[in-house]
Structure 1
Amino acid sequence: MKVSSLKSFAVASFSLFMILFSNVTLAQHDQHGEQGHAATEEKKGFDANKVIFDHVLDGHEYHFMDVTGEDGHLHPISLPLPVMLYSPQRGFTAFLSSKFEHGHADYNGYRLVDGKVIPVNEAGQIDESVKVYDISLTRNVVQMLVALTLLVVIMLSIAKKYKKGIGVKQAPSGFQNAVEPVITFVRDEVAKPNLGQKKYAKYLPLLLTIFFFILINNLFGLLPGSANVTGNIAFTAVLGLISFVVILFSGNKHFWGHIFNPPVPGFVKPIMVLVEFLSIFTKPFALIIRLFANMLAGHIIIICLISLIFIFGGMSAGIGWGFSPISIGFSVFIFLIEVLVAFIQAFIFTNLTAVFIGQAIEETHHHDDHAHHDLPDDAVII
């Protein structure tokens, strides 16, 4: 609760501050008298909104930093990614995103505008007659594939050790020491309490995959220059959809009977049926929004804190340098919290998935009825 309150307060405070000061600009006027005329050059100030959205949204390249060249212009340092487009009118096209020159050039009849590829004609105007399907390997997709590959490699290497008897007949070794306690924790504290001793093994592979996949992507997102995959609503929506399908197909007669024929008085039953039916969809929705909002908020807070240095620097260089230690200190503090949140959110998503599946496979309890039958006739139930 303290972490959530801190995030909410920080987001509200810095959002208000950025609205007030994000439009600060610097104007630099240079007089050139070689041709007998004056030229005025304006330099735009730091755009915090653009920096934030460029980081949290998906893109066609990994952008690390901008370097000022000898010509005085900014030169981005980035890693281009493959752009793959299909158009019914133009066919399939593939090339590197560097061909767009960071949005300053058109290539092969396409233009990059705010991270989206749009078709253009020979005159450089948007061609509304051409429909484009972007199936590119964006940074979210690439990073997700890297996380998946890492997860498979780690688990296969650990599985080989168990096949050799390491960790069974003798003490675990290497990275197996770090992973085994986590697997044991998910089994004993998540799967067994929520799914029961008889059925937990059936769902344990799913729960472990969800936990480690979210955890790896959370930690990758904290690396400088990386993509915030778990802060993307599409990523969490797919995970929520998977949990939703598993919950539906795991539901037994008791689960569906409780939804469409809840044990309540007849006049309340129509309302409760509607409420119970809606709860089927609110469960995965809660999983989706919780992970998305928490991981997105942490990244925005850190970027806001760093952006304050440049916002104050646009007002005065001295204020910018003076505020730097404060901004960096708070950023490091929030970053350390985000490392903790990365583990917590992976655990919460996995635990709630196990809870919802456990509710779907729960059997009818008869112990209460037997308890009442065993009571003497003159007993008073309090």
Structure 2
Amino acid sequence: MKRLFVLLFSFLTISAFAEAPVEGGKFNAGEMITHHIADDYNWHFADGATVYLPVILIDNGTVNTFSSHHFYDENHETVPYNGYVIEHGHIYRANAEGEPVADQSGLYDLSITKNVASMFISVLLLFGIFFTIAGRYKKNPGKAPSGIQSFFEPIIIFVRDDIAKANIGPKYERYMPFLLTVFFFIWFNNLLGLMPGGANLTGNIAVTLVLASLTLLITVFSGNKNYWKHIFATPGVPGWLAPIMIPVELIGILTKPFSLMVRLFANITAGHIIILSLFSLIFIFQSVAVGPLSVAFATFMNFLELFVALLQAYIFTLLSAMYFGGAVEEHHHEEEHAHGEAHH
């Protein structure tokens, strides 16, 4: 029932977004979809329900702060303010006519955008939940979990046993904080993005780039001598092939986190686009026959996205653990140990 309410509310929210273009002219599905999946300087939930976020600009050492409300008129069209203008989702210095000037050097945008605000909300949510769980473990050591603790404990054990232990081995404990953090961060933000008016945080390639870069850095700095030997002196490969194999192996180090970045970004963004496209059909055709079909397919996709939200968190965490496991694996030590036992 709760999920059906969320779906109904999602439909009403999207209808509110689409209402203005229909009244003012031809409905533009592409513009509506882009508006929903892109980052912005305000958080628009429905007509009359907009949160204007703080703008923070550092312009040649001078800090300028003001509400993003000044950038929008009564029709929610962007207008210049205080020598700045929003163009294509970014703030630029503007001339007297409100057009971006050529020289933008020394201008740094540290504004709290919709994605940043959503990330803060998810972080506070994660802190609240897991500090509560940790407190209950300290308060009731050895006792059966209850409440929220009983819900999350099997998931934490699953990440520990079936992802970390299975793919990293005996050294798994040092990677558990990162693996648990990235799993729940991605999962929570995927779910928050499906809520009415939710931000498309994990569908932002800058966010997935940071997550993938963290996996890359941990993998590289965890690499033991056998890991690097495999890169620069691949076993079983003739020496004359080294000039070819070394660049290939080095490129392989970068392509792994690149695939993590693109996979998460593409799957989450694609899900949002499909759902919004299905809803858009209602306003494009304006037909009683199309409306129920669009809602039915969009409802199915919304349920499917609940599974995808968990699946993408699992895949990102699993592949990260596999990369860590490959970096710390002791191939030669195991081979020598087995050879010694056979000799005795």
TM over 0.5: yes
Q: Which structure: greater helix fraction?
A: 2
Can you list the C-alpha shifts for 1:183-227, whole angstroms capped at 9, x where unaligned?
00001100111111x211111111111111111111111111111
2:110 pairs, out of 114, 118, 135, with 135
SS in 1 for 2:51: strand
Q: Do structure 1's residue 358 and structure 2's residue 325 form an aligned pair?
A: yes
1:53 pairs, out of 16, 23, 34, with 34
SS in 2 for 1:231: coil
User: Residues 103 and 113 of structure 1 are in contact (CA less than 8 Å); yes or no, is this contact kept in structure 2?
Assistant: no
1:120 pairs, out of 71, 94, 113, with 94
Structure 2 matches for 1:291-302, cutoff 5 A?
A: 291-302=264-275
- The aligned residue for residue 277 of structure 2 is 304
- The aligned residue for residue 172 of structure 1 is 145
Structure 2: distance between partners of 1:210 and 1:374: 42
Q: Do structure 1's residue 93 and structure 2's residue 32 form an aligned pair?
A: no
Count matched residues.
317
Structure 1: distance between partners of 2:249 and 2:78: 53
1:111 Cα offset (Å) = 2.2
Structure 1: distance between partners of 2:197 and 2:116: 15
SS in 1 for 2:31: helix
Structure 1: distance between partners of 2:92 and 2:245: 48
Structure showing greater Rg? 1
Letter in 1 for 2:84: Y
Structure 2 matches for 1:3-42, cutoff 5 A?
A: none
- The aligned residue for residue 81 of structure 2 is 107
Structure 2: distance between partners of 1:199 and 1:86: 44
Give 5+ residue unaligned stretches, structure 1: 1-24, 29-42, 67-75, 314-318, 376-382
Letter in 2 for 1:64: F
| Residues 59 and 162 of structure 1, relative CA distance in 2, 3 Å threshold | same
- The aligned residue for residue 38 of structure 1 is none
- The aligned residue for residue 283 of structure 1 is 256
Give 5+ residue unaligned stretches, structure 2: 1-20
1:363 Cα offset (Å) = 0.4
TM-score, normalised to structure 1's length? 0.78
| Residues 372 and 62 of structure 1, relative CA distance in 2, 3 Å threshold | same
Aligned-residue RMSD, C-alpha:
2.2
SS in 2 for 1:308: helix
- The aligned residue for residue 145 of structure 1 is 120
Letter in 2 for 1:362: E
Letter in 2 for 1:98: H
SS in 2 for 1:83: strand
Letter in 2 for 1:295: I
1:374 Cα offset (Å) = 4.7
1:290 Cα offset (Å) = 0.9
Structure 2: distance between partners of 1:363 and 1:130: 51
1:191 pairs, out of 164, 177, 185, with 164
Between 1:331-340 and 1:44-53, the stretch displaced more is: 44-53
SS in 1 for 2:202: helix
1:364 Cα offset (Å) = 2.0
Structure 2: distance between partners of 1:366 and 1:129: 59
Structure 2: distance between partners of 1:270 and 1:337: 47
| Residues 92 and 268 of structure 1, relative CA distance in 2, 3 Å threshold | same
1:347 pairs, out of 295, 314, 325, with 314
Can you list the C-alpha shifts for 1:106-127, whole angstroms capped at 9, x where unaligned?
2212222332222223344433
SS in 1 for 2:81: coil
- The aligned residue for residue 56 of structure 2 is 84
Structure 2 matches for 1:267-278, cutoff 5 A?
A: 267-278=240-251
- The aligned residue for residue 37 of structure 1 is none
Structure 2 matches for 1:251-270, cutoff 5 A?
A: 251-263=223-235, 264-270=237-243
Letter in 2 for 1:325: P
1:372 Cα offset (Å) = 11
Q: Do structure 1's residue 154 and structure 2's residue 129 form an aligned pair?
A: yes
SS in 1 for 2:239: coil
Letter in 1 for 2:125: L
Structure 2: distance between partners of 1:277 and 1:143: 36
| Residues 277 and 82 of structure 1, relative CA distance in 2, 3 Å threshold | same
2:298 pairs, out of 328, 331, 335, with 331
- The aligned residue for residue 203 of structure 1 is 175
SS in 2 for 1:112: strand
1:56 Cα offset (Å) = 1.1
User: Residues 103 and 112 of structure 1 are in contact (CA less than 8 Å); yes or no, is this contact kept in structure 2?
Assistant: no
Structure 2: distance between partners of 1:57 and 1:209: 25
1:49 Cα offset (Å) = 1.1
Identity score, percent: 45
1:93 Cα offset (Å) = 1.5
